[in-house]
Amino acid sequence: MARKGLLPRSTAFCPCVLTVLICHILSFAVTEGSDGENKISSLLATNGQPFPWDKMRLPETVWPLHYDLLIHPNLTTLDFTGTVKIQLDVLQDTAVIILHSKDLRISKAALLESSRILPLQVLEYPAFHQVALLSDGVTLSRGSQCAVYLEFAANLSESFHGFYKSTYRTREGEVRVMASTQFEATSARAAFPCFDEPAFKANFSIQMRREARHISLSNMPKVKTVELSNGLLEDYFDVSVKMSTYLVAFIVSDFLSVSKMSQHGVKISVYAVPEKIDQAEFALNAAVKLLDFYDDYFDIPYPLPKQDLAAIPDFQSGAMENWGLTTYRESALLFDPKKSSASDKLGITMVIAHELAHQWFGNLVTMQWWNDLWLNEGFAKFMEFVSVNITNPELQVEDYFLGKCFEAMEVDALSSSHPVSTPVENPAQIQEMFDDVSYDKGACILNMLRDYLTPEAFKIGIVRYLRRYSYQNTVNTHLWDSLTSICQADDLDEGRLKGGFCSQGKSHSGASKWYTEDELDVRAMMDTWTLQEGFPLITVEVKGREVSLSQERYLKSEDPTQTSGFLWQVPLTYITSRSSTVHRFLLKTKTDVLYLPEEVEWIKFNVDMSGYYIVHYEAGGWDSLISLLQHNHTALSSNDRASLINNIFQLVSIGKVPLDKALDLSLYLSRETEIMPVIQGLGELVPLYKLMEKRDMEELESQMKGYIVNLFQDLIDRQSWTDDGTVSQRMLRSYLLLFACVRSYQPCVRTATDLFHQWRESDGNMSLPNDVSLAVFAVGARTLEGWDFLFEKYRHSLYISVKSRIKSALSISPLAHKLKWMMEQSLEGEVMKTQDLPHVVVSVSKNPKGYKHAWDFLRDSWGSLVKKFDLGSHSIAYMVIGVTNQYSTREMLEEVRAFFGSLREETGSGLRCLQQSLESIEENIRWVDKNLPLLQGWLDRQGPKRRAPGPTGA
């Protein structure tokens, strides 16, 4: 965002204009209020003096222009020292400079003037991670420039954020240490004193001091290395582009790399530990292809000369978009054609696509504040699908997008959800923004808007947005303004709009989305999707040619006060039995009516799930669609079939549709072959018996399991134990065979058992088909001998995809003592990486032999978990929700509520995920109380009761 009254400035150093005030030392601290008047701050610094600022956000009295940063990590003593000189622009007269510092020991602070150095006093206020720099009798004058110089030291972090320690074990068993950064969202301040908010963009000149046996990396290319007198080396990196502190990155390690030039002349390199560098080729080729795609698609050249991708052995999230030095979990970057599965290939490509999209969305154009994080993350998630669909069509990525919308709706259906754009202030609240609403809902509403505007018009608008706000910060309205009146070119469009789309005028077909200017108010429409939480339920009733429409908020809680006053502008799409053309209707009011040209047998809204809403069909509408699925399911696309499965089961939850009608619809799945409807069907049916597992209802649980296995039996029997087929066919095979083996479907268990015995007899050297190896491992892990053998292979494998599949298999074993041991070992982090603990805990919680242990572990280890993974982090939320969301008894509700109620603010009492967890348990209790008799009766009508043998469940 442009700052008022400021002209463009050079980053060259200009000495401060200092005005010496003739006054006594102030006996109290002052801050400037919003009305410009001084007010007394009641905060005290660590030394007992008044701290001269009382807000979590920094004042805008000075602005950083350029950082000269030197960092020297010691990988033996596990600490680091550093110096930073920050050139500043003074925007308001001030006697104090407030900036961020967290757990840093600042040993020297000085104000630099051309002829002298003035020492500065440092006051610390740890609660806000802030320090104040001041000198008696010195004021900085508005319009001047100055610099501050700081020397500091700290320990390398033992967590996954800031400048932290990471380790890996070589093939010979030697443990090696490296140091890497993770600054998003608020951890740059833990590595160097800085203005650690996204709007404070500046240029960075970085130097790294290291031993000769290591290399160092940073955002920019290295320009020179100087040998120091003590034998250490100092690497100098080129000056960065203007960027936010959370995008700064540096690494000291013994990594090796492979490199390639993109078509646009950017050097792309993948870095990994030496013994795994042979697994970097796939990521390198994917990154080259994707960076070239974005360069062309956005028509804005990637501004740096290089793009590094580094696989970090210890990494909390999936990856991080640091400009020019993206960092990844090893599992999100390393790929071996002989060891990795189809889902590995898809997942790695998608993660790389996400981080490279951020080089434009997030890095070049950055949200003003974390309340609009979705402008970064929703766009990057959305662009994953756009880019991979075009660059790697064989990955069939379009099959999976609607799954992201369903995931977002799970959270967004709770009263504890939040708007896409939400006010946040402290670090824990900021961390909580990195959730399914910011990522997946953000992507889904962008996809809906793209479908409404047309892909061509949408692309013109987002390119205009990127051009207008390059190297700046934005808010929601900047995006909507860029997408409105796209055919009125401005001086940044450079002829993009001439010809093509905009020259066609407004004489489009009747199915067009483009109407008159007053109807196309993008901001008015999209504000309804970003400034209020939740999503609409559209109720449809067809009478002859007349279609009555109404909207209300879809909400699982029973609180009617949470649904009133919500209204969306909903871009409806529909097809009918008489017309496969996609028709469109913008619903702006609570109720409306549209008219069909002729009467129809059925109507299907939200074509291909392109809109972020669900649909209820009244007056026989569901009966018509169920009949269509039973007799001719391919009349609808696979995404339309998946969305019908999702919608009808969601409607059961709020009492709009009886459970037996939803189960009637599921019967058609016996003929389904496409991945998304099958996975959605399993995703709706499996949780039903998971609820019963927690209630010891073995008879009904067994019936339900038997029904599901029988429903998909023909499709399971048709699966080969190979890696043949398309990516979607291979992923479906992996999913189905794992399900069948865990459910003890005997043909599956027999084959998996034979393969496991052969693999074990070969000492793990036999090549298993990658896509089915998880099912094989899961069967092998049922015995103590098999579990121990798998664990030894886990310990010594250098193939991260193999380790990942073995770890999953170990966590779904029925051996309860092993499940407890896995969680404890993952927390210790020696044998099993702590980064994998959230996955292990949640996987154990889904296991009927482990769910009680998972809850006990979460509760007993809470203090260690929030220290390691950070309050508000996605990892904490994932464990809280994952461990508790299948409980359905009042006893467990009270136990969970009592524990959450015992927490203090500093240990997480205010976290949103705690409320979401309680809401989910309450919803499960309501669902079970209401629907279990219906389920029992429906299953009885389907035939004799089946027992699904087997001690385990996933």
- Residue ranges for the known binding site for Zn(2+) are 354, 358, 377
Cα–Cα distance for residue pair 573/575, rounded to 1 Å: 7
Return the amino acid letter for 800: I
- Give the whole-angstrom CA distance, residue 1 versus residue 660: 54
Three-state DSSP state, 484: coil
CB neighbours of 213 closer than 8 A, spacing ≥ 6? 254
Q: How many residues does the chain have?
A: 954
d(CA 110, CA 117): 6
- Residue matched to tokens 């092998």: 780
Active site residue 158: no
**Amino acid at site 152:** F
Q: What is the spatial order of strands in the sheet that 570-576 belongs to?
A: 579-587, 570-576, 603-605
- For residue 672 the two structure tokens come to 């389904």
Ranges of H-type helices in 299-367: 342-358
* Cα end-to-end distance, the chain, whole Å: 49
Distance between CA atoms of residues 272 and 252, nearest Å: 12
Taking the C-alpha atoms of residue 266 and residue 308, their distance in angstroms, rounded to an integer, is 10
> Annotated binding site: which residue ranges?
354, 358, 377
Angstrom distance (rounded) from CA 673 to CA 732: 9
Cα 401 versus chain centre, distance: 14
| Residue tagged active-site, from 124, 197, 330, 355 | 355
Q: Are the CB atoms for 609 and 440 separated by under 8 Å?
A: no
Give the C-alpha separation, 391 to 286, whole Å: 9
Q: Which residue has the tokens 């080969």?
A: 720
Whether residue 304 contacts residue 220, with contact meaning beta carbons closer than 8 Å, is answered with yes
Rounded to the nearest 10°, the torsion over CA 243, 247, 250, 253 is -150
User: Cα–Cα distance between 232 and 823 in angstroms, integer?
Assistant: 41
Q: In terms of C-beta density within 10 A (0-12 exposed, 13-18 middle, 19 or more buried), how is residue 625 classed? A: buried
Q: How far apart are CA 677 and CA 645, in angstroms?
A: 7
CB neighbourhood size of 573 (10 A):
22
Strands 222-227 and 233-237: antiparallel
Q: d(Cα 954, Cα 705) in Å, to the nearest integer?
A: 12
Say how many C-beta atoms besides its own lie within 10 A of residue 811's C-beta.
27
Report the distance separating Cα 616 and Cα 623, nearest Å: 12
* Dist. CA 97–CA 3, nearest whole Å: 18
Cis peptide before 319 (omega within 30 of 0): no
857, 820 contact by CB (below 8 A): yes
Question: Measured between alpha carbons, how far is 120 from 470 in angstroms, rounded to an integer?
Answer: 35
Dist. CA 695–CA 689, nearest whole Å: 10
> Rounded distance, CA 266 to CA 303, Å?
9
What string of H, E and C letters represents the secondary structure of 739-763?
A: HHHHCCCHHHHHHHHHHHHHHHHCC
Rounded to 10 degrees, what is the CA torsion of 235, 330, 861, 185?
50
Residue 337 CA to residue 345 CA, distance in Å, equals: 9
Q: Which of the residues are catalytic?
A: 355
